[in-house]
Amino acid sequence: MPTRLPKLPNTVRGKDYLETRDWTDQEIERLLKTSSDLKKAFKAGRPTRYLPDKTVFLFFFDKSTRTRNSFEAGATQLGAHAHFISAETSQAAHGESPKDMGIILSSYGHAIAIRHDLVPGEGNSYMRAVAEHATVPVYNMQCDIDHPFQTLADLMTMREEFGRSLRGRRIAVTWAYAPSYAKPMSVPQGLITLMPRFGLDVVLAHPPEWTLMKEPMAFAQAQAKAHGTSFEVTDDMDEACRGADIVYAKSWGIEELFHKPEEALKLSTRYKNWLCDERRMKLAKKTAIYMHCLPADRNHEVTDAVLDGPQSRVFPEAENRLHTCKAVMALTM
């Protein structure tokens, strides 16, 4: 028989997981504890079928590898079933409203998860419109503002590396060059809004054109002040990496140019030197780790030597996506 899940306050059962800012520090601590418990059970081969016969609908407006598979595998391990739905093959492609989707899918199952991340101003608003009319939990599998499943796994990974207390640790969240496509802004925004709450001093680095959204920036500053941590912004990647415990270097797009991605990509070629390589990792502490949500543009965002090297934690980080995903489902569905 599986061990019992830790109990949460009644307000969390049925609660949406749309942004980490919607959850209290104590609730996130419970998610992290449950993630760790589920990971230990998985490693030991103990079953954790806490959601038998339940259904979660996975609604994707964008491509996915880690998110889709962590949800599908995680649901199976919890005894539930995950339905994959591509927006382009659903009636959403013909304009079906989020209200109708929220009502109908709520009547078919037990949770609704949505990825809608490529258009600033649309994804989070769409999810919240679904959630307004749904009677089951609604999950954000990545939107234009936040990627709360990713940053929860990131925080779990950091604690596994450095211990539960991260007070005084420094994370460099820095833009890096990528020629592939204009990537969402949600991961860096999720990092700067969550990490100051859990003891980390955050330094955000990017070229002048790659500013983040005003609201997440203001929230990050407020959280740093409230939690006695720091939040700095620089246009110098070397400065961000210097003395860092964690280097989280990845690309993201320009808010005003998401409808003109070719312009953003052309502009980004001015900053090909924004690359996380061995030289920059040497600017960080000797015990520093490299993190990335993946997929990484190898030898553009980060060199193979760093991504595959001894300081990289990208694969344990990706593995933790499974267990944090399961924790959210198990405690809310």
DSSP class of residue 2 equals: P
154 closest CA partner among 304, 323, 308: 323
pTM: 0.95
State mean pLDDT over 106-120: 96
For residue 179, CA distances in Å to 45, 108, 144 come to 41, 41, 20
Strands 289-291 and 246-250: parallel
Tokens 């995680």 sit on residue: 74
Per-residue model confidence (pLDDT) at position 1? 45
Say how far apart CA 146 and CA 254 lie, in whole Å. Answer: 15
Strands 81-86 and 111-116: unpaired
Amino acid at 176: A
Residues 6+ apart with CB under 8 A from 135: 103, 106, 107
Per-residue model confidence (pLDDT) at position 5? 54
Per-residue model confidence (pLDDT) at position 8? 47
**How sure is the predictor about 242, in pLDDT bands with cuts at 50, 70 and 90?**
very high
Per-residue model confidence (pLDDT) at position 116? 97
Quick: pLDDT tens for 41-61: 999 999 999 999 999 999 999
Quick: pLDDT tens for 249-282: 999 999 999 999 899 999 999 999 999 999 999 9
Quick: pLDDT tens for 307-326: 999 999 999 999 999 999 99
For residue 206, CA distances in Å to 31, 47, 188, 233, 236 come to 31, 44, 11, 8, 7
Per-residue model confidence (pLDDT) at position 52? 94
Say how far apart CA 133 and CA 257 lie, in whole Å. Answer: 32
Alpha-helical (H) ranges within 61-198 are 66-77, 98-108, 123-133, 148-162, 186-194
pLDDT tops 90 at residue 161: yes
Among residues of the chain, what percentage have pLDDT more than 90?
A: 91
Per-residue model confidence (pLDDT) at position 6? 52
Encode 128-164 in three state secondary structure. HHHHHHCCCCEEEEEECCCCHHHHHHHHHHHHHHHCC
Q: Which of 71-85, 89-103, 197-211, 297-311 has the lowest mean pLDDT?
A: 89-103
Cis peptide before 295, with omega less than 30 degrees from 0?
yes
Per-residue model confidence (pLDDT) at position 10? 60
Per-residue model confidence (pLDDT) at position 95? 85
Say how far apart CA 37 and CA 44 lie, in whole Å. Answer: 11
Per-residue model confidence (pLDDT) at position 118? 87
Cβ atoms of 321 and 66 closer than 8 Å: yes
Tokens 């339905």 sit on residue: 83
Say how far apart CA 225 and CA 245 lie, in whole Å. Answer: 21
Structural domains of the chain sorted by starting position, each given as residue range(s) with its CATH number in brackets:
20-147+322-332 (3.40.50.1370), 150-317 (3.40.50.1370)
